[in-house]
Structure formats: structure tokens, C-alpha cells
């Protein structure tokens, strides 16, 4: 039976005694949240002060697949290199590598509040829709369209 600790990344190397102490706390947390399919990032300070952040398994596993790495490596990249995947995709798209397209999602919220629409770089509309609905968790997507206008910020 799995302990759940295989879905945990620590911010630093910890000693065996620190691991024992931290793992007892984590076991309790994982048991209480056993219905949630999450990965956890544990920021461990020198005095064993812990900050634990959960990430949805769908997001971690999707990023692992996209980056062709392990789930824990993907979790590490999400935490320590926030925006890495998006910047990588923007760079590939701008340089016309891998036949990627920029997609824009118009939502009820962006229309009503006159906000900038969400965008992503993907191979096709199906992948873009998955990104918008599953990864960004946009609930009110009205349209997804190609938008290959370059944006310089």
C-alpha cells in the first residue's frame, strides 16, 4: 500500500531524523486528505517550520507529460520555476518550432469585465481547450480560437 510520500517534494535535503519527524506529520495530513489526488511541496526551514502546498495531480501529471519528465520533477518546476512551461511554449511558438499555434479563450468573465482573454500555445484546439478547462480551470469558456498575432511585452 502506498504511503503517499512518493507525491511529496521537499525544498531542501533533510536528514533521516528530520524526515522521520516530518513524515509523521505528513502521514496524518495525507490520511485526512486521502480523497484528494494531490502532490505536495514542503518548504522546510532550518527549525523544521513547514509550509505545505498542495497541487492538483492533473496539473502536475500534465506538465510532466509536456516536459517529458517525472511527476516530481514537474512539481519542482511548477514551484521553483513558476512560468517556465509557458515561457518555453512562447519561445517555441515565436521561433516557429514544433508547429505550435497560439490559442485564445474568450470567457463570460473576460467579456463582462472587459479583461484580457486567456491564451496558451498548443498543437491544436483540442489541446488548447484541455489546457483552458483542466489546467487553468476556466469554467465559462465561450470560444477558443487561433490567434497568431505576435504580442511583445
Q: 29-56 pLDDT, tens per residue?
A: 777 776 678 899 999 888 888 888 989 9
How far, in Å, CA of 116 to CA of 104, rounded? Answer: 10
pLDDT recorded at residue 35: 63
pLDDT band for 1, please (50, 70, 90 cuts): very low
Cα–Cα dist 127/117, whole Å: 17
Beta strands 118-122 and 101-107: pairing type? antiparallel
Quickly tell me which residue has 512518493 as its cell. 6
With 80 as the cut, is the pLDDT of residue 19 above it? yes
Locate the domains of the chain by residue range.
5-57, 83-146
pTM over 0.85: no
Weakest-pLDDT range from 27-31, 67-71, 86-90, 120-124: 27-31
Residue 133, C-beta contacts closer than 8 angstroms, at least 6 positions apart:
139, 141
Amino acid at each position: 500500500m502506498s504511503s503517499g510520500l512518493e507525491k511529496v517534494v521537499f525544498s531542501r535535503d533533510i536528514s533521516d531524523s528530520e524526515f522521520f519527524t516530518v513524515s509523521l506529520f505528513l502521514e496524518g495530513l495525507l490520511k485526512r486528505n486521502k480523497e484528494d489526488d494531490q502532490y505536495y511541496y514542503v518548504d522546510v526551514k532550518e527549525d523544521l517550520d513547514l509550509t505545505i502546498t498542495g497541487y492538483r495531480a492533473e496539473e502536475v501529471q500534465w506538465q510532466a507529460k509536456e516536459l517529458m519528465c517525472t511527476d516530481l520533477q514537474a512539481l519542482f518546476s511548477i514551484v521553483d520555476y513558476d512560468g517556465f512551461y509557458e515561457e518555453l511554449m512562447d519561445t517555441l511558438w515565436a521561433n516557429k518550432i514544433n508547429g505550435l499555434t497560439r490559442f485564445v479563450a474568450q470567457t463570460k468573465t473576460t467579456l463582462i469585465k472587459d479583461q484580457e482573454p486567456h491564451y496558451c500555445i498548443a498543437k491544436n484546439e483540442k489541446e488548447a481547450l484541455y489546457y483552458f478547462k483542466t489546467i487553468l480551470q476556466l469554467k465559462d469558456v465561450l470560444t477558443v480560437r487561433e490567434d497568431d498575432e505576435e504580442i511583445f511585452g
